[in-house]
Amino acid sequence: MHRTLQLLVILGALGGSACGARAQGYPFSQRGGVTQHVAHTTIAVEYGRPVARGRVLFGQLVPWDSVWHPGADSATRISFDHPVLLEGHEVKAGEYSVWLVPHASGPWTVILSRAAHAFHKPYPGAANDAYRFDVTPERGAHMESLAYYFPSVVRDQAVLRIHWGETIVPIRVSAPYQPG
């Protein structure tokens, strides 16, 4: 009887920890990615997808006027296989990490850093910035998990959206590369 009780306690402990390991084995923020061909240029984004979970996102979870990584875990990476124009600014082909500076009013600053393989904290610093430009955020339907997507792709023009909660950061893309 005593041995049976010991065996049941051991099996219960093993079963409980196995169930706990399975429940804890899922990441809080799933990895995501999007690849889009705009004319003859391939744009790829790889990122972590944080979940809103009822939190106030901008102004609380994400402070105003501070550099923020729009993603989770490893910094979001964006790559271009040919030069592009983002909001009219020439961007060389290559791979970059993506950062934003949100503001309570007015445009937000988009930063592409040469530190493409970084963690989401700390920000690699202005010395690694390759490009900075401003965009005006928009309001939209609630997006529970952060998403990067291309709602419009026409010929050599596209819009890349960074969308979380009801906030959308649209980035106009032009892909002028023509194969020789």
Region of poorest pLDDT, from 3-17, 49-63, 132-146, 160-174: 3-17
Whole-Å CA distances, 130 to 14, 73, 101, 103, 125: 51, 21, 15, 21, 11
Q: For residues 146 and 122, give the distance between their C-alpha atoms in angstroms, rounded to a whole number.
A: 20
pTM for the full model?
0.84
Q: 56-76 b/e with 16+ CB inside 10 Å = b?
A: ebbeeebeeeebbbbbbbbbb
For residue 137, give the DSSP letter: -
Quick check: helix, strand or coil at residue 10?
helix
User: If you average pLDDT over residues 9-32, what whole number do you get?
Assistant: 57
Query: Which tens digits make up the pLDDT trace of 61-116?
Result: 999 999 999 999 889 999 999 999 999 999 999 999 999 999 999 999 999 999 99
Q: How confident is the model at residue 16 (pLDDT cuts 50, 70, 90)?
A: very low
Quick check: helix, strand or coil at residue 32?
strand
Q: What is the mean pLDDT of the chain?
A: 89
- Phi/psi for 19 (5° steps) reads -65, -40
Every domain of the chain and the residues it spans:
28-174
User: If you average pLDDT over residues 143-149, what whole number do you get?
Assistant: 98
